[in-house]
Amino acid sequence: MNSDQVEFRNVSFRYNDEQPWVLNNVSFSIKSDEWVAIIGHNGSGKSTIAKLINGLIFPDQGEIFVNGIKVTADTVWDVRKQVGMVFQNPDNQFVGTTVKDDVAFGLENRGVERSEMIKRINDSLAAVRMSDYIMHEPHRLSGGQKQRVAIAGVLAVQPNLIILDEATAMLDPKGRTEILTTVYDVKQNHQLNLITITHDLNEIIHADRVIVMNNGEVWTETSPRVLFTQEEGLREIGLDIPFVAKLANELSKQSITLTQQPINQKELLDELWTFHLNK
Amino acid sequence: MANSLIIGQYVPTDSLVHRLDPRTKIIIIFLFVIFIFFANNALSYGWLALFAVASAVATKIKLKFIARGLTPVWFLIIFTFILHLFVTREGPVLFEIIGFPIYSGAIIQGFAISLRFFLLILVTSLMTLTTTPIEITDAIESLLHPLKKIKFPVHELALMMSISLRFIPTLMQETEKISKAQASRGVDFKTGPIKDRIHAVVPLLVPLFVSAFKRAEELAMAMEARGYQGGEGRTKLRELTIAKLDWLAFLSFSCVLIGLFLLRQ
Ligand SMILES: Nc1ncnc2c1ncn2[C@@H]1O[C@H](COP(=O)(O)OP(=O)(O)O)[C@@H](O)[C@H]1O
Ligand SMILES: [Mg+2]
């Protein structure tokens, strides 16, 4: 009856009564098989949204539906079966003493048979290209590798929805690229919804849709391409667009109009040479 | 750095002792610790010493390495011996050291107690040398399983132990980082009077504790998000199995015990 994977209906939330609202009348929905990026400055309420989806906290007002199930204290375990989360700090979500044990953790919690467990561990480690590290302890892995293990741990339980809450924020550029390509691969090869939370606009270019949060409210909801044209507004709420988008916007100010807003370097180059050709 | 991170003193080799089920090792060592008190003559002590040394050799770990692990207790063993030398007054006096009479019983007694002490330490350290901490945790969980009936939180205890094991290296890395950061701000941990040095540890401990609590909170959330709801209905990836080898170990140990009772007076 409901093809929406996630739906927020007028959700408000605060951590305690003395505090201002962290989320204020937030509504949005995410369709099946969609990749949605949530961006916003620090403290704009992104992580709170993630925790609400997974039933780690519950809304003070409004309702949240995940795959048609309303998230309440009674349904939270059903919801968590469908939602996998990867958090920011690679160290503080690694439960096992080895990679293998860590990926197993979610499966053990769900009471998966041991033989099935081994198969799924191998498959999901292969999906994030960490098979060679299966017996490694966490302190012998880089941050990016730990996050890939975290993604494998989530994939292993086969959720419908994966939320990455600033999963790249604590990584060096190499680790960040590692995670972004892993996520892209996973999305290509698995049928699932993806919510990536970030404050770096470079990381949203593959998303189907972007939800921009500002001070606990939805500031706008649009595609990455359209969003990159709103440089001024984004700067006002503390977000910086990628270089390619900036350059394109500067060009259009110089009345060099491109046929569409380029989203990466290749598109920008294509736009530029076709422009030059048609001049 | 990596060296300081080795937990316990596990030394991997491909020996049969390593391949034994950790429960087998715990049970045998437990029995050994009890039955060593039944040895009461040179033959029975020698018999048990033979067993201990044979086990040490069977681990395929260099004996030099095992001996090095025992260095801190050598002192205690020698101290025990000397203490008995002066305190025990049995049998004829053999000779005198600066006015103290040394009885023949004292030498025998001192020797026996020190040997017993040495064997206990040796055998228990073989356990940690050949078994990873996580295996020990699993074994404890399995052996304590019956206590579940009286509501003893066996699963929780084991989980706590394994999470501690997982975080020891992380926290050690962090301690190192913080102490370097504080040293670069001029905090001196290594020189000066004890009082100052203890004082210098405070700026190390405070950030360490703050971060440990933050980690604990985030870890709890991550565990919950991954569907953790306690031990009920949980399956386990790591499995312990009593194999032929373990039965063989129990059989040989029974022979050791039978031998002990034949040899003692
Ligand atoms: N556990 C908490 N207790 C109290 N306040 C919190 C807690 N977690 C977050 N907040 C507050 O809620 C607001 C939104 O936080 P968060 O959702 O984490 O933002 P973001 O992930 O976008 O950076 C912030 O002002 C933050 O200080
Ligand atoms: Mg956040």
Q: What is the pLDDT of residues A1-47, one digit of tens each?
A: 446 889 999 999 999 999 999 999 999 999 988 999 999 999 999 99
How many angstroms separate the alpha carbon of residue A198 from the centre of ligand 2? Answer: 8
Helix (H, G, I), strand (E, B) or coil at A197: strand
Identify which of B215, B219, B237 has the shortest CB distance to residue A108.
B237
How many angstroms separate the alpha carbon of residue A166 from the centre of ligand 2? Answer: 7
Residue B55 lies in a domain: yes
Residue B242 lies in a domain: yes
Q: Does A107 touch chain B (CB under 8 A)?
A: yes
Contact between chains at B235 and A107 (C-beta distance less than 8 A): yes
Identify which of B165, B214, B227 has the shortest CB distance to residue A109.
B227
Q: Does A78 touch chain B (CB under 8 A)?
A: no
Q: Which of A22, A23, A54, A195 to mutate to test the pocket of ligand 1 (most atoms within 8 A of CB)?
A: A22
Contact between chains at A108 and B236 (C-beta distance less than 8 A): yes
Q: Atom 13 (ligand 1): residue with closest C-alpha?
A: A43
**The pLDDT value given to residue A71:** 95
**The pLDDT value given to residue B1:** 35
Angle at which helices B244-263 and B22-35 cross, to 10°: 10
Q: Residues near ligand 1 with C-beta < 6 Å?
A: A 15, 22, 40, 42-48
A 129-148 → B contacts, CB under 8 A = 137-139
Mean per-residue pLDDT of chain B: 88
Cβ distance A234 to A241 under 8 Å? Answer: yes
How far is CA B30 from its chain centroid?
12
How many angstroms separate the alpha carbon of residue A46 from the centre of ligand 1? Answer: 8
Per-residue pLDDT, averaged over B83-91, amounts to: 84
Give B-chain residues touching A114 at CB under 8 angstroms: 235-237, 239
More confident residue, A119 or B104: A119
- CATH code for the domain in which residue A180 is found: 3.40.50.300
The total number of structural domains in chain B stands at 1
More confident residue, B108 or B192: B108
Token digits of residue B183? 């040293």
Nearest residue to A16 (alpha-carbon basis) of A62, A73, A57 = A57
Query: Using 50, 70 and 90 to split pLDDT, how confident is the model at B85?
Result: confident
**The pLDDT value given to residue A123:** 94
Residue B202 lies in a domain: no
Q: Which residues lie below 8 Å from residue B204, measured CB to CB, with a gap of 6+?
A: B175, B178, B179, B182, B187, B189
The minimum-distance atom of ligand 1 relative to the CA of A46 is 22
For B209-233, the pLDDT digits (tens) are 999 999 999 999 999 999 999 888 8
Helix (H, G, I), strand (E, B) or coil at A36: strand
CA distance B167 to chain A (A): 8
CA distance A210 to A226: 10
Q: What is the pTM of this model?
A: 0.85
Contact between chains at B226 and A106 (C-beta distance less than 8 A): yes
The minimum-distance atom of ligand 1 relative to the CA of A41 is 22
What range does the domain containing B41 cover?
Answer: 1-131+238-265
Residue B112 lies in a domain: yes
**The pLDDT value given to residue A249:** 84
Residue A74 lies in a domain: yes
Q: Atom 24 (ligand 1): residue with closest C-alpha?
A: A43
CA distance A197 to A39: 6
Residue A190 lies in a domain: yes
Residue B16 lies in a domain: yes
Query: Using 50, 70 and 90 to split pLDDT, how confident is the model at A159?
Result: very high
Size of interface A-B (CB pairs under 8 A): 96
Residue of chain A nearest B215, judged by CA positions? A92
What range does the domain containing A40 cover?
Answer: 4-224
Residue A177 lies in a domain: yes
Residue A249 lies in a domain: no
Cβ-based burial of A104 (10 A; exposed 0-12, middle 13-18, buried ≥19):
buried
**Does residue A138 have a pLDDT over 50?**
yes
The minimum-distance atom of ligand 1 relative to the CA of A166 is 21
Mutate: best of B1, B217, B237, B241, partner A, most A CBs <10 A:
B237
Residue A179 lies in a domain: yes
Nearest residue to B256 (alpha-carbon basis) of B21, B32, B20, B18 = B32
**The pLDDT value given to residue B60:** 93
Cβ distance A193 to A163 under 8 Å? Answer: no
Residue A279 lies in a domain: no
**The pLDDT value given to residue B3:** 39
CA distance A212 to A141: 33
The total number of structural domains in chain A stands at 1
Per-residue pLDDT, averaged over B50-68, amounts to: 91
**The pLDDT value given to residue B8:** 57
List, as ranges, residues with CB under 5 A of the ion ligand 2: A 47
How many angstroms separate the alpha carbon of residue A47 from the centre of ligand 1? Answer: 7
Q: Atom 26 (ligand 1): residue with closest C-alpha?
A: A43
**The pLDDT value given to residue B186:** 82
Residue A197 lies in a domain: yes
Q: Atom 19 (ligand 1): residue with closest C-alpha?
A: A43
For A54-113, the pLDDT digits (tens) are 999 999 999 999 999 999 999 999 999 999 999 999 999 999 999 999 999 999 999 999
Residue of chain B nearest A104, judged by CA positions? B237
Q: Which of A21, A38, A44, A48 to mutate to test the pocket of ligand 1 (most atoms within 8 A of CB)?
A: A48
